[in-house]
Homo-oligomer: A and B are copies of this chain.
Amino acid sequence: MARTINEKYRQEKRNNIIQVAISLFPVNGFSQTTISMIAKKAGMSTSTVLLYFPSKEDLFHCAVLESLTELKSLFINIEPETHDPAEQITKMVIQHITALSKRVPYLKLIHYVINQHERFPELTKEIFTVSEEFIEFLSLMIKKGQELEQVEQTDARETAWAYLAYINGISVVITEPEESPFWKGLIRQGIRIVGGNVI
């Protein structure tokens, strides 16, 4: 029993460190983010951070993978709720864009890795695997909508890639705060890009 409690405690602390890492790495980059910065923000000593992660590189890996699974869970959702594809797509886009505006550091960290993919080959591979999954998931939704003629008739996969690019591009190009009306427009455009809003 004691072990369980301890284990839980360790996991929490570990997670705490990862969250801090996710918030710092994308802001300063890998090299400029020192372990002591992370430690300070997490309220512990440098040594303690290295007690939970064998090296800075390892912590970085964990932070990236954590971000990736978090994003995956936000972007690839299968809960149908509605059986109307058009409505499904609209909801999905809203959820994506909302997620975007709220999880900036996660996506920034992912972009940091992709941007320097030669330096982080395995992580990049992992990321692209998730991208493919997303494309798969999205094409399917688009096809369903197309069959019901609720969605513009295009090559579904091609459109899916375009939408993925759009989504990622937003977080590169847009710096508006969460509350800005700008985001409404981005949702409208997102729906247009997946081919919704026909009629």
Which residues of A (22-72) have their CB < 8 Å from a CB of B? 26-32
Minimum CB–CB distance for A147 against chain B, Å: 20
- Chain B nearest Cβ from A77, distance in angstroms: 20
Dominant SS at the A interface? Answer: helix
Flag whether A111 is at the interface (Cβ < 8 A): yes
A26/B115 in contact, CB under 8 A: yes
- In the assembled complex, the Cα of A26 lies from the Cα of B112 at a distance in Å of 10
| B118 adjacent to A27 (CB under 8 Å) | yes
Q: Are B168 and A27 in contact (CB under 8 A)?
A: no
Q: Considering the complex, which residues of chain A in the window 110-164 have a beta carbon less than 8 Å from any beta carbon of chain B?
A: 111-112, 114-119, 128, 131, 154-155, 158-159, 161-162, 164
**B-contact 0/1 string along A162-199, CB 8 Å cutoff:** 10111111101111000000000110111011000000
Residues on A facing B (Cβ under 8 Å): 26-32, 108, 111-112, 114-119, 128, 131, 154-155, 158-159, 161-162, 164-170, 172-175, 185-186, 188-190, 192-193
